[in-house]
Amino acid sequence: MSYFSPKLGIDLGTTNVLVFVPGKGVVINEPSIVAVSKATGKRGGNKVLAIGAETKAMVGRTPDDVIVYRPMKDGVIADYRVTEAMLRYFMKKALWWNPFKPTVLVSVPAGVTSTEKRAVIEAALKAGAKNAFVVKEPILAAIGAGIPIHEPMGRMVADIGGGTIDVAVISLGGIVASTSVKCAGNRLDRAIADHIKKTHNLAVGDKTAEEVKIRIGSAVTLQEELTFAVRGSDTVSGLPRTVDLTTNDVATAMSRELREMTQAIRKVLQETPPELAADIIDNGIILTGGTSQLRQMPELVYRRTGVIAKLANDPYYCVARGTGIALKHLHTYQKSILAKK
C-alpha cells in the first residue's frame, strides 16, 4: 500500500462499525450509533452531535431534544444522510495522518438489493472515498476466517451479527446458495427485555438486555446455570427493583428468535447441490460474527441441522479482517466484488 493511496476496509454493521487499515489491522471498533438534536431554527435539519463511542454513554439518558439512534437497520442504510456523516467521521478518524482520499471496501448483507448496494457506494463516495467497492458479508467472513474460497469445494459460512444472519455456501470464489434474515443479536436483546417485562413486571433497556445475554445467555439450556441480578423499573409501581435471572430463563426467552436463525441455515443447506452438501458435511459450518459467540451456539446449529458447526478464530473480527485481505488482493477477489465507482 503506497502512502499516497490509503485503503480502508469497513465492516458497516447494524450494531458496530469496524474499520480495517491494511498493515495496521482493526483501528476502529465503535457502536454504529449517532446522537442528533431535533430540528431547530429556520433552516431545519437535524444536527449531528456525536457519533460512535462518545454516543454510547448517552443511550437512554438524553433530554427530549436529543435522539440517539442507529442509521443502519438490519444491515442496510435506514438514514442516508446520517450514515454518510458517520462514514465520514470514521474514515477521517482512521486516516487522520493521511490527506489523500482512500479506496474503500464496505461489507453488505448477502440479501442486499441493487438499490441498497448503490446507497452504500454513494454514501462512501460522498463521505470522501476516491473509489468504493462493496462485497457480500459471507464472502468477507469466509476470507477473514481463513477459508480458501477459490477452491472447487463447498464451504458454508453463517455470519451472525446484530441486525442480520447471513448464510452462504461458497465454491470457486462465488456464492452458490445464500440467504439473509433480519433476525440476529438485536432481536435476541428485545426478546430478553420482553420476557423480563412479561414474567417479572420489570422494564429494562436494550443495554441491560444485551448485558444479560452476554453474561448468562445460552443458545441451549444448561445443567449448570448461571445467575445474574437485573435492575430495572417495576411496571406497576414505577420504582426501581432487582430480579435474579437464570441462564435457562434467558435461553427460553430467546428460543423463537434462535429457531428463526437456525431455520435460515437449514434453508441454505436444503438449496445446496448434493456434491457441495457432501463437502459441507466434511468441513462443517463455520460461524462468524458477534452473536455467534453466544454460549453453545455451535451445539444448537448441530442439533438443528445434523452438521457439525465450529466457531471461527476471533469470530467478531472475521468480516473486518476479510475486508483487509480483499483490499490487498483486489484482482484475486474481482469475482466477489459487486460494484465499484
Confidence label for 107 from pLDDT (cuts 50, 70 and 90): very high
pLDDT in tens, 165-178: 999 999 998 899 99
Q: Looking at the predicted structure, is the pLDDT value of residue 43 above 60?
A: no
CATH of region 7-32+70-140+318-340: 3.30.420.40
For the entire predicted model, the pTM comes to: 0.89
Percent of the chain residues past pLDDT 70, beyond the cut: 94
Write the burial class of residue 284 (CB in 10 Å: 0-12 exposed, 13-18 middle, 19+ buried). Answer: middle
pLDDT in tens, 48-59: 888 988 887 777
Give the cell for residue 298. 455451535
Q: Looking at the predicted structure, is the pLDDT value of residue 79 above 50?
A: yes
Phi, psi of 64 (to 5 degrees): -60, -30
CA distance linking residue 168 with residue 116, whole number of Å: 19
Q: How many CA atoms, within 13 angstroms, populate the side-chain half-sphere of residue 300? A: 25
Q: How high is the pLDDT of residue 42?
A: 41
Residues marked as binding?
162-164, 210-213
Contact 16, 333 (CB under 8 A): no
Tell me the domain boundaries of the chain.
Answer: 7-32+70-140+318-340, 149-311
Confidence label for 338 from pLDDT (cuts 50, 70 and 90): low
Give the residue ranges of DSSP H helices in 95-179.
Answer: 114-126, 137-144
Question: 8 forms bridges with which residues in the sheet?
Answer: 104
Confidence label for 304 from pLDDT (cuts 50, 70 and 90): very high
Residues marked as binding for ATP?
162-164, 210-213
- Measure the CA angle with vertex 274, ends 271 and 278; round to 5°: 115
CATH of region 149-311: 3.30.420.40
pLDDT in tens, 131-185: 999 999 999 999 999 999 999 999 999 999 999 999 999 999 889 999 999 999 9
